[in-house]
Amino acid sequence: MKKLLILLFTLAMGTATMAQESPKEEDFFKILKVTAPEGTLLEVGGLTVLPNGNLGVATRRGDIWIVENPTSRSPFFRKFASGLHEILGLTYKDGALYCAQRGELTKMIDTNSDGKADVFETVYAWPLSGHYHEYSYGPKIAPDGQFFVTGNVAFGDEEWWRGESRVPWRGWTMKISENGTMQPWATGMRSPCGLGIFDGELFYADNQGEWMGSGGIVHVKKGVFVGHPAGLRWTGLTSSPVKLTAEQFDAKIDERRRRDENGRAIKPENVVNETPTLLYSLKDKFPGVDIQTPAVWLPHGILGISNSELVEIPQGAFGPFAGQLLIGDQGMSKISRVFMEKINGEYQGGAIEFRNGFKSGVLRLAFAQDGSLFVGETNRGWGSAGDANEGLQRLAWNGATPFEMRAVKAMPDGFEVEFTKPVDRKSAEDLASYRVESFLYKYHAVYGSPPVNKEALPIKGVKVSADGLKARLIVGDLRKYYIHQLTLEGVRGVEGSYSLVHPIAYYTLNNIPEGEKLTMTDVSTRNSDTAPTAATPVVASKKETGKTGGKPKLVEGQAVTMAKAPTYDEVKGLLTRHTCSACHQANKRQVGPAFSDVAKRKYTNEQIVKLIYNPQPHNWPDYATEMPPMPQVPKPDALKIAAWINSLAPTAGSSSAGVPKP
Amino acid sequence: MANPPFSALFCGLLSVGWVAGIGLVLAQPAPTPGTSIPLNDLSSFAAATPNWRIVGAVRADLNKANTFVTDKGTGILANLPADASFGQKYNLLTNLKHGDIDLELDYMMATKSNSGVYLQGRYELQLFDSWDVRRPTTVDNGSIYERWDEKRPDGQKGYEGHPARQNASRAPGLWQHLKISFQAPRFSANGTQKTENARIIRVELNGVLVQDDVELTGPTRSAAFEDEKPVGPVMFQGDHGAVAFRNIHYIAYDKPRPELVNLTYAVYKGKYEKESDYSFGGKAPEAEGATKVLTASMSRIPNEFLIRYTGTLRVAEPGEYLFNLGVPGGGGLLKINNQNVITPGGWNGRSKVTLPKGDLPFELFYSKFVDWAQPALGLTIAGPGVREFAISEGVGGTGEEVAPIMVDALTNTLLRSFMDLPGVTMPGTPADQQRRSLRVTHAISVGSPEQVHYTYDLDKGALVQVWRGSFLDATPMWHERGDGSSRPRGMVQRMGLPVLFLTKLTSPQANWLIDTTGSGYRPKGYVLDESDRPTFRYQSYGASVDDKIRVLDQGKGVQREITITNSANDLYARLISGSNITPLENGMYLVDERAYVRLDDVAGAKPTIRESNGQQELIVPVKGKLVYSILF
């Protein structure tokens, strides 16, 4: 009888443990609908909230809507303007709306108060060559009331992979005054889709591509060069504040313009065994030139693949995160959170996942007056994790504080992590709860970059503050300009022994601050991993750690001879860790083809591994976004993924390794 | 079974369309030379009544119905009917008797006039002064006229007409262009039984598709004959109104098509990239057998396969044949009479070969090895007296066709986009880049419910083009990433290279400026009126300019009113350019026989026609105000 009771009790405990699974992002931030009249196509290119709380929505099809009562159950849509050219930004100022069209900054006024614009004034028009990729973004309003606008590069005819600035100010940021004077402001932009004002300064986010190893947020000071060389073509013009010329650049950086024996241009491919050039090294190569590296890198495939709008969280909104930034991502249909600090006069900071699961590509963000966030979406031409083609949604906080890293700050000897809620001391004072690695991306003419120079850093001690809201880490081998990945899988909250909602932060360490270092006597150096018997974690984390734990490692070549393909559950962690899932799904086209479509090509496992390391985008002409080379995926992992992909082929029959049904 | 025309079949198969996500490729059959009907005299026609004349020039009077002024000469066939001369005898029949035919001609309508082209004297393609029409009915220009049955009740006697898809007409007195592809009815061997109805395969009016594969169950109203026959004359209607024709060409398709008989197929698995691989060294096919159709779906393997067809091509008419082979994702080899006609290389092959009459050995290989391409196989044949037709299955496309995105102007509608100007290149463009036509980057198109629209270049203050009919096709801009451009769907009158509308000239002979350098040109946008019609604004030479363009009453064209404040001296406006600008008696100007320019208010200034780079341009000095119209 007693035995039976114990058994029952144990079962009940088990259930209780299940119920105590750590909360997830959707438990705090809800995605809500903004209903629109049927047939309203909201391929959102611009969002702005007017002083009266109405929402302005601009679309890629050239319409502008004013939405009244936008946070109510029945928003009212009024068409304010139409017929504009691929609007990719919308702002309100002094009774007028302003938008960037492909070829100009336009001011729109409703002079007769009938709800429709009747004056469309060209504030400033810039030249275009007529290439499809010459999109223009903005405006954002500077503290002095002037307008910032950015412009994409075009691509070559023969060198279709190479960004070109065919006419002045493509690949540039422009600053435009109300009366139509234009100051070229900075260059080096490739696809500067995300603009934002923070701290009175202009920041912008670019997209991965040639010369852009990964997305990132860059402080755009006057006269800076941020990396893409196309715009340097115009630095000789008298109005240019950028000092670097295209010739000077060419003399020191290999642009990989090569031709084969038939005179055809060769597309640059990733060189695996090389000492890569890194963006920050341009500071030494071009002394006297203002080279601006990202304040915050947004690792590709993790915090996005095509970063979009940058907004500051207003006071009173989103609880502990007010004053920080949010950045959207089109391809991954997600939003990440960014915090910055100023060290040695330069901005730097970190980024953490925030909310996934939007229905289309997240392009534009704007805070409503009630503190919720409007999310304007489109994926036409690019694809996204959310498979709707367009959308307008709203993200609302339910008032409960999630257990998160609120911010990470650089310290002279490591980092200080600030939490939103007190941590459980036992876990937080255990060095095994933390992992710190650093890496960076290449600066080269190739599309994208694998993460390079990756190192695991020693954690020497941790000091948890008395209130349990801060943990200061002593970390060795810090590298300036590198991305420092802080993984806090083991840290638990006091409440519920929960794991962090998002346990990984990516901090860009452009400068290491001066100041007081911790003494070893002040810190905990306990490391449960070095204890003779490693105890299994008390509370099961919901997250797949994906780390090689007790399972034996696959050796090279083993996968090809495997009798049975791995199951989805066996590769799921790998697909996430190596960022495959950022662009591919099992059975559905996303940014890239479905894995099952890859399987139909009947590549051998070895061929798939080769394609992971050196993708051939021309084999997939229906897909707009190139896949970057991913030589960082270890071969055993790649082979395992390949074997799983091939198990999805229709001819593989019923032995298919199990794919989650949509 | 009816055979839809080549272009419809192969739109999907022979063009890969959106592969680059940029260009929408429309299959446009190239103009083909044909036989012309000489118009030196009336000897090509059956006995004609005196209303039919051969003349050298013809002009219409816009204010007088049914009236032409003609000059002596040859080359133009004019119908100048006397009042109330109704009746079959006033119609004109060609000596030519035709079955299947492509017919192409220019014609001009007098004001309020009515005529028609009857294929085989029986099936009427209506010609009409539809200048002021918005939505064509069966009586309008480019429509297939109704059939008529007296036995039916009143109001239902007319039936089965087929209106033009849109009004692609020009004004009376302007030359219009008509292209008709017609397929005659088919009859049983003894000729007693009709086995297949006649069809209008395609009609292009002024370059716009207005009829596409329309079946004709019998002769239309006022046909010359009530029966149906394999052949008949072309009839030009002469009893309804003044009309003129010139440049009449035709291609008759009166010979039997080659046929494929004794066809067998074999499918081989594997990757055969070169012609030399096409021997299988005893390798057994995956599948083989007899078949009646050429199709890629014989292979159930999606990639890396080869289909080999063998059979006999039965050629009834000797002569030169054109073969067009589509083999996406691989290569194809076509052998006829044991000689190579098309050899592997590229996904499309086109070749001409002279074939004798008789049963000729036929062999076709389709090797598919590019993994991302959809397998498909298309083969068309054209020959002496044989209209290009698909001998392969070919229908159905690839399943990747794009749903078009059309923009209509039900109210006044604006749309900014890039606008390509076919045939126009920027002066000084290197020869190797001239295939790319000029792209207007700051264009705005303005559509009206009157169905008259225009495109304006905001970068130059220039009117780029005007058109009548449907508004815009935005598929190139809004499908996937798009290329940022849209296209007019109607009958377009282009204004050539866009240049600054206003320029300071030191003398009336000085060259016109191509770009805005030196003018201080600055666009200032536009203001909408209560009906959403824009007035464009810009600054140039220190002056502020308002450029107001409005559609004329009844959609007869556009009127442009320029208002200049703080006007500089020596400012000229270039109203229009063309190969030939002719002043008319009524103070208007005729531009290339395709449009009229009317000066409504030039404040007493004297307009000049001058030569410039082999073109003519109409310029006028301008101070404060200028109003003129373009009628088309």
A139: cis peptide before it, omega within 30°? Answer: yes
What is the per-residue pLDDT for B303?
82
Mean pLDDT along residues B190-215: 96
**Is the CB of residue B482 less than 8 Å away from at least one CB of chain A?**
yes
**Is the CB of residue B425 less than 8 Å away from at least one CB of chain A?**
no
Nearest to B622 by CA among B534, B517, B543, B552: B543
Mean pLDDT along residues B459-473: 97
Residue A91 contacts residue A142 (beta carbons within 8 Å): no
What is the per-residue pLDDT for A582?
83
Of A61, A129, A619, the CB nearest to B372: A619
Mean pLDDT along residues A430-452: 97
Of A166-170, B340-344, B394-398, the least confident: B394-398
Q: Is the pLDDT of residue A146 over 90?
A: yes
Q: Is the pLDDT of residue A78 over 70?
A: yes
- What percent of chain B stands above pLDDT 70? 93
Q: Which residue of B has its CA nearest to A60?
A: B478
For the ranges A355-359, A539-543, B322-326, B601-605, the one whose mean pLDDT is highest:
A355-359
Chain B from 279 to 318: CB within 8 A of any A CB: 302-303
Q: Is the pLDDT of residue B205 over 70?
A: yes
Confidence category of residue A578, pLDDT binned at 50, 70, 90: confident
Q: Which residue of A has its CA nearest to B441?
A: A130
Residue A128 and residue B21: Cβ atoms within 8 Å? no
SS (H, E, C) B290-307: ECCCECHHHCCCCCCEEE
pLDDT in tens, A346-362: 999 999 999 999 999 99
Mean pLDDT along residues A420-434: 97
What is the per-residue pLDDT for A3?
52
Residue of B433, B437, B442 for testing the chain A interface, max A β-carbons within 10 Å: B442
> Nearest CA of chain B to the CA of A304: how many Å?
20
Of B418, B459, B481, the CB nearest to A381: B481
Identify the residue with better confidence: B510 or A146: A146
B445 CB-near residues (< 8 Å, 6+ apart) = B414, B415, B416, B417, B419, B453, B454, B455, B456, B471, B472, B486, B488
Confidence category of residue B452, pLDDT binned at 50, 70, 90: very high
Burial track A393-423 (b if 16+ CB lie within 10 A, e otherwise): bbbbbeeeebbbbbbbbbbebbbbbbbbbbb
- List the end-to-end C-alpha distance of chain A, in Å, as a whole number: 46
Identify the residue with better confidence: A563 or A601: A601
What is the rounded CA–CA span in Å between residue B331 and residue B305? 11
pLDDT in tens, B1-17: 334 333 333 333 333 22
Mean pLDDT score across all residues of chain A = 90
Q: Is the pLDDT of residue A410 over 50?
A: yes
**Is the CB of residue B412 less than 8 Å away from at least one CB of chain A?**
no
Mean pLDDT along residues A417-432: 98
Per CB-CB distance under 8 Å, the chain B contacts of A130 are 418, 439, 441, 484-485
pLDDT in tens, A620-640: 887 878 888 888 888 889 999
Q: Is the pLDDT of residue A510 over 80?
A: yes
Nearest to A503 by CA among A520, A488, A486, A518: A488
What is the per-residue pLDDT for B435?
67
Q: Helix (H, G, I), strand (E, B), or coil: what is residue A572?
A: helix
> Which amino acid makes up residue B547?
D
A400 CB-near residues (< 8 Å, 6+ apart) = A27, A28
Q: Is the pLDDT of residue B145 over 90?
A: yes
Residue B409 contacts residue B447 (beta carbons within 8 Å): yes
Residue A601 and residue B303: Cβ atoms within 8 Å? yes
Confidence category of residue B30, pLDDT binned at 50, 70, 90: very low
What is the per-residue pLDDT for B515?
72
Confidence category of residue B18, pLDDT binned at 50, 70, 90: very low
What is the rounded CA–CA span in Å between residue A456 and residue A435? 8
Q: Is the pLDDT of residue B277 over 60?
A: yes
What is the per-residue pLDDT for B275?
79
Residue B528 and residue A120: Cβ atoms within 8 Å? yes
Q: Which residue of A has its CA nearest to B459?
A: A125
For A274, list phi and psi in degrees, rounded to 5.
Answer: -140, 160
Mean pLDDT along residues B594-610: 95
Mean pLDDT along residues A209-224: 97
pLDDT in tens, B474-484: 999 999 999 99
Mean pLDDT score across all residues of chain B = 90
B554 CB-near residues (< 8 Å, 6+ apart) = B131, B132, B450
What is the rounded CA–CA span in Å between residue B457 and residue B479? 24
Mean pLDDT along residues A266-284: 95
What is the rounded CA–CA span in Å between residue A175 and residue A201? 13
Residue of A107, A108, A122 for testing the chain B interface, max B β-carbons within 10 Å: A122
Number of other CB atoms surrounding residue B355 within 10 Å: 22
What is the per-residue pLDDT for B397?
60
For residue B375, how many C-alpha atoms fall within 13 Å in the half-sphere facing its CB?
19
Q: Is the pLDDT of residue A418 over 70?
A: yes
Q: Is the pLDDT of residue A560 over 50?
A: no
Mean pLDDT along residues B416-430: 87
Residue A62 and residue B415: Cβ atoms within 8 Å? yes
Mean pLDDT along residues B42-57: 96
